[in-house]
Structure 1
Amino acid sequence: MQRSPIWSSNIALLAVALGGLTAGILLYLIGGRGSASFVWGLATFPVLLSLLVQIVTSLRRGDAGLDIIAALSMLAALVFGEPLAGNVVALMYAGGQYLENYAERRARREMTALLGRVARTVMRHNGDGLEEVPIEDVTPGDRLLIRQGEVLPVDGTIASDSAVLDTSALTGESLPVTLQRDDEALSGTTAIGATFDLVALRPAAESAYAAIVRLVEEAERTRAPAVRMADRYALWFLVLTLALAGGAWIWTGDPIRALAVLVVATPCPLIVAVPVAIISGISRAAKLGVLVKGGGALEALGRARIAVLDKTGTLTRGHAELSDIWTAPGWQPDEILRLAASLDQASTHVMADALIQAAQARSLKLTAPTDVQETAGAGLVGVIDNHVVAVGGSAFARSHLKPSAGIWKPGFPGSAATIDVVVDGALAGTLVMADPLRADAATVIERLRAAGIARIVLATGDRAAVAEPVARRLAIDELKADLTPQGKVDVVTAARAAGPVMMVGDGVNDAPALAAADVGVAMGARGAAASSETADVVLLVDRIDRLADAIGVAHRSARIALQSVVAGLGLSLIAMIVAALGYLPPLQGALLQEAIDVAVILNALRALRA
């Protein structure tokens, strides 16, 4: 990853502070006390200058953080002739900034995966031939050739008899969709059937996929910023420190006592311990297969109280599987599946792959088909073991029935996708396809509730008939179906009124909602790359139960960070009182503060353990 200017600046300041401290100590040991003091002061100045710039920027935003104490202690050390103490404080502060930025630099990258999904060129009909043109040159009315495996670059209408599309990137629906002539197809969907022609309706910049990109960018700009834990304690600790330091100076007339108070008050238990605890939590989550992009994301994950979950690929497996076989009298389920899978060996349709896998799982012996004719997106017919077999949707099956054959199969729920099998002109059976729930879906819902999630909303682009059985089985609090990408953003925005929202999804259509939530979680193992780029948290393994584990890590890291803060500031407060009474000079105070830092850092590192 390319280093950011902030990251490079933090490394440089840490190197200057550490290098200056080391060089000064060496000069002091060989008798160059004046040179040592000069080097310590010189090494303190860049850190102080950088800190003052940050403070001015924060004050302009209305934020008064604990960085002010660190700046005052360094400035006072230089003014009152205690450069070594100032250098030690500078090293503590630069180290804390380095550790904090180490986590934050893993944050959001540019959405190159989202923008790179659509090809940059497309084949356009030109008279009797074809020409390859940039998608920016496509205008409404152009006739385009879309080949199998290509992503539609623009919105358009189907100009061929039919087209089979994978629409999961936009709707989350895992089952393929067959469109007929003059039906509208959206950019961002993938052609998984035979080659077809598309007549462009809109330029690429105005198409559905481009709109999703704009939604993500807009949602990221309006995201509520994460609040550092340190800032929550800033005001009262700042007031207390200034009161003790000013009181000691006024009471004794000795400015060094004020400096000593400021040095031991430098809030490194907050500046250092909190980032260490957060980074340790991030590392622990990574061992579980969960990538957390920074400290703000881990804090937000622990604070989440509302969960908005996508269905396809999140709570379900994300691909069609054989769920049931209905057979006509005289037929056995395995024989129906064997005939259908044998014929489907000649097809590249996604449903064909599912049937072949189901047959192989049952150890059925498949026969090579002959005289195969496929109607793209509808079905295919061929000869298997001297039987004429037709496999496809209901309309295709009806067209291959003998006139005397009646259709007397039972009705199937609207949530099911069915494939009819016709043998020698009679309906022999129906294969019922479904997108099954993940094995851990019910368990993870229970664990999310146990982890503090008060309300769970299922937000999906699927039809209500498809989503309702899932919502009932998992005892989901609320179902929102038939949603567009903007609709999912609206659901997340509305849910935030009741508390911090966690959005979990896996498709490109989920990316805007992931960006709009307080914390977005992407199913990165099989999900779209764009959703992983947009999300704050990415599940790198195909197990949604790891989300509950990650929330547990977030809670534990927050507790450990808070323990470090309370213990560290408590010890600092005692040291401040001792320094105000004159028993703790600035240099010894700085060293004592370093010892306190080591203690709280060791405590913070406990977040690495299970």
Structure 2
Amino acid sequence: MNATDMVRRRASEILFILVATGLAAGAVLRWTGTAAAGDLVWASVTVVAVVPAAWWVLDGLRHRRFGSDVIALLALAGTLAVGEHLAGAVIAAMLTGGRLLEERAGRRARRDLGALLSMAPRVAHRRTPDGLETIAVGRVVPGDRLLVRPGEVVPVDGQVEEGRAVLDESTLTGEPVPVEHTEGDGVRSGAVNSGSPFMLRATTDSDDSTYAGIVRLAREAAAESSPFVRLADRYAAFFLPVTLLLAAAAWWAAASPVRAVAVLVVATPCPLILAAPIAFVSGLSRCARRGVVVKGGDALERLAEARVLLFDKTGTVTAGHPVLSEVVTAPGRPDRDVLGFAASLDQVSPHVLATAIVRAARDRGSRLDAPSGVTEEPGKGVRGTVSGREVSVGKAGWAGEGDPVWVERMRDRAAARGLITVFVGVDGRLAGVLLLRDTVRPDAARTFRLLRRAGIERTVMVTGDRPAVAGPIAELVGADAVHAGQTPEGKVEVARAETARAATVMVGDGVNDAPALASAGVGVALGARGATAASETADVVITVDRLERLAETLAIARRTRSIARQSALLGMGLSLAAMLAAAFGYLAPAVGALLQEGIDLAAILGALRALGPGRDRSPRLRGDEADLVRRLDDEHRALRPRIDRLPALAERITGPDPRERDAAAGTVTGLLEDIADHEHRDEKLFYPAVARALGGSDPTGVMSRGHTEIADLARRVDLLIAESREHPDASDTATDLRAAIQELYAVLRLHFAQEEENYFVLADEPGA
């Protein structure tokens, strides 16, 4: 909290205490028989409140806002004019107390954003030829080797180079369970090392790190105001002349100014002054608690109006954790040049494919050198110098000159297998292509169904990939249209065209998505892997690696807007009813002031509903059971990449190289042991909780049968591995082993997908 906010807070508290004390003191004096003294105290309290009320009106006029505080000021002045001192003191307490409540509610709602600012890293420990030196985090540059000690905050984004990183990422993601990262994994600044020391290779400097980006986003979000607040002022501008006309009519009809003051008293528009802003700030806070930073109420309201969803493919609907499938070299180029040069350059790249390339190079024992002069071109690729050679990684035209027939053949080969092509050039000529495999996110299909349910009417994929690759994935998630082969400029044109027809939201995660995010009605960046240009230009940044938070944020936005309108309109409606009663003489000014206090409190409490979840009648797992689901979901995410390797392991485990066979057999055996432990936790802890939530005689029976099939296949694989070790030349054993591993792969993928679709969703907090 800065000095200005502190002064404002203290002033609001002192003013409210002074007014409340005066109200109570006047009541005591009246009760003890000194009515004149009591009235004088109440009148003084009213005068004290008139001064800030007049300032609020003038400040509103200076900012071209008119209406919200005018009625309150007129009511205070009216009570002084007609001698209704108790009514004036009650209005003063209501007005000053409401302002204090607004500030406290706003601070509570922004608390989750402010928590991000308190953990900004300050120093880093850099490894140099002379040893370890502690430097300011601002001096870190990409390529530096940093030591992260236990309990320290990761200073910049990077890749784990030595050791195993166990990180508490709750500040970034909201997830309480520490996450383990192995060598080659990308990690983000702002996470806390809750394990042993590890070495980190920096991929960004401090200004471009994830945490610095989130801090900037949090500050922008705290500074923004919602257009609904201005809409509340427009409501008040309508409400003001109605109030004045009704007060004038009551004065004329009864020939008594007291009637007019009574109308003004119950017309004090605190539901407009407080309810709408509190609702939107509460919605921002709820999004922040779910790992989503929304840059102000303006973005939240525009998100609530969205009807069309535009989305990128890679890293958005795909998992964004690709693995290297194959390296194909151009004629005359050695294999190590392709992968080694590409991985060396990608060590300092935040792109979603870079981590996979670096990890694959480390696994294969390639030597990685520190790059220099690295630049990145949106939608094209990365370029820099490695060991004195100019290296380019990205699209074929960007990487260098080469045989166009070979390039087209590689693209066709990748399209037929659903792979991603990354071309590598050395000294201006194509050296080869890396083929990577990326899978659709497990939550993608469910997210799109939830988005439809939340009001999205049209979904459009906009991607730079070829139609043959993009089409099947778009069909899988149910997209209404596909624009493939798009450059960043092309994505902008699509975003503008769709925005001209309806309110749109664009979702992406890469540098090449940034222009389109800025062009759409609302830009949403998946910023879990780094603070790229996408995060900087987007209106909404999802800081956790979960696509379903998009649907949840949309639901929160629509519920927040609805609550803001309900609170404001309900307060206005009750005030209008009270105004009519006061106009006909049924409410004295003092009674009306107390009644208006209740109306204001109801409106404010209604607005604070946006801090919590909405009503949800579907089965839910709560508390410890919900935490269990999240832990098992994390296990799924960790096991899935290992399961995806089974087809390749099935070939290696029966190959000609004995060392490769033994290594593959050990990998498969370790995976089977981990899966058995996971399924045991499912049966003993998870499935009983699901059964209680769903009800019925045996709601998890089918899934338990799946566990039985998985266990049976695992036993078969173990037996066949043992048999193949005893008889390595037996072709029938090798054939059976390959078939069993392939069958286990298919069953595991289906079983995991069914659990995630049917059961894991039970732990999701309802967003509407």
TM category, shorter = 0.5 to 0.7
* Counterpart position of 1:15: 13
Residues 491 and 276 of structure 1: CA distance in aligned 2, closer, same or farther (over 3 Å): same
The partner residue of 1:416 within 412, 416, 420 is: 420
Work out the CA distance in 2 between the residues paired with 1:486 and 1:91.
52
- String of CA shifts for 1:97-149, please: whole Å, max 9, x gaps: 5368659989999xxxxxxxxxxxxxxxxxxxxxxxxxxxxxxxxxxxxx975
Paired residue type of 2:263: V
Q: How does 1:116-135 map to 2 (within 5 A)?
A: none
* Counterpart position of 2:344: 348
Work out the CA distance in 2 between the residues paired with 1:315 and 1:410.
21
- String of CA shifts for 1:72-96, please: whole Å, max 9, x gaps: 3234334444441441353255347
- String of CA shifts for 1:505-556, please: whole Å, max 9, x gaps: 3344544544444433222322425543443322121111111011112222
* Counterpart position of 2:271: 269
SS in structure 1 of the partner of residue 507 of structure 2: strand
- Percentage identity across aligned positions? 41
Residues 417 and 320 of structure 1: CA distance in aligned 2, closer, same or farther (over 3 Å): same
Asked if residue 98 in structure 1 is aligned to residue 103 in structure 2, the reply is yes
Q: How does 1:50-89 map to 2 (within 5 A)?
A: 50-57=55-62, 65-81=67-83, 82=85, 83-89=88-94
The partner residue of 1:558 within 545, 556, 561 is: 561
Paired residue type of 2:452: R
Work out the CA distance in 2 between the residues paired with 1:481 and 1:346.
26
Confirm or deny: 8 A CA contact 2:23 2:42 kept in the other structure: no
Asked if residue 453 in structure 1 is aligned to residue 456 in structure 2, the reply is yes
SS in structure 1 of the partner of residue 436 of structure 2: strand
CA drift at 1:66: 4.0
Residues 100 and 607 of structure 1: CA distance in aligned 2, closer, same or farther (over 3 Å): closer
Paired residue type of 2:344: T
CA drift at 1:353: 6.2
Q: How does 1:504-583 map to 2 (within 5 A)?
A: 504-528=507-531, 530-583=533-586
- TM-score by length of structure 1 reads 0.61
Work out the CA distance in 2 between the residues paired with 1:550 and 1:596.
30
- String of CA shifts for 1:303-359, please: whole Å, max 9, x gaps: 1112232334323344542357999xxxxxxxxxxx989996996354896368569
The partner residue of 2:48 within 43, 47, 53 is: 43
Q: How does 1:239-250 map to 2 (within 5 A)?
A: 239-250=241-252
Work out the CA distance in 2 between the residues paired with 1:565 and 1:279.
15
Confirm or deny: 8 A CA contact 2:471 2:482 kept in the other structure: yes
Q: How does 1:94-243 map to 2 (within 5 A)?
A: 94-95=99-100, 98=103, 149=143, 226-228=227-229, 229-231=231-233, 233-243=235-245
Paired residue type of 2:45: W
Confirm or deny: 8 A CA contact 1:268 1:597 kept in the other structure: yes
Work out the CA distance in 1 between the residues paired with 2:109 and 2:503.
20
Residues 73 and 520 of structure 1: CA distance in aligned 2, closer, same or farther (over 3 Å): farther
Work out the CA distance in 2 between the residues paired with 1:2 and 1:17.
20
Confirm or deny: 8 A CA contact 2:226 2:296 kept in the other structure: no
Paired residue type of 1:558: R
* Counterpart position of 1:256: 258
Paired residue type of 1:567: L
- Matched pairs, number: 455
Work out the CA distance in 1 between the residues paired with 2:433 and 2:490.
35
Asked if residue 604 in structure 1 is aligned to residue 600 in structure 2, the reply is no
Which residues of structure 1 form unaligned runs of 5+?
110-146, 151-191, 194-215, 328-338, 380-392, 398-407, 421-428
Q: How does 1:434-513 map to 2 (within 5 A)?
A: 434-460=437-463, 467-480=470-483, 488-513=491-516
Work out the CA distance in 1 between the residues paired with 2:294 and 2:354.
38
Confirm or deny: 8 A CA contact 1:261 1:580 kept in the other structure: yes
Work out the CA distance in 2 between the residues paired with 1:394 and 1:551.
43
Work out the CA distance in 2 between the residues paired with 1:531 and 1:560.
30
- TM-score by length of structure 2 reads 0.49
Confirm or deny: 8 A CA contact 1:23 1:39 kept in the other structure: no
* Counterpart position of 2:297: 295
CA drift at 1:368: 8.8
Confirm or deny: 8 A CA contact 2:283 2:556 kept in the other structure: yes
SS in structure 2 of the partner of residue 538 of structure 1: strand
Work out the CA distance in 2 between the residues paired with 1:518 and 1:103.
29
Asked if residue 589 in structure 1 is aligned to residue 592 in structure 2, the reply is yes
Paired residue type of 1:264: V
Paired residue type of 1:597: D
- Range 577-586 or range 470-479, more displaced: 470-479
Aligned-residue Cα RMSD (Å) equals: 4.9
Work out the CA distance in 1 between the residues paired with 2:13 and 2:299.
28
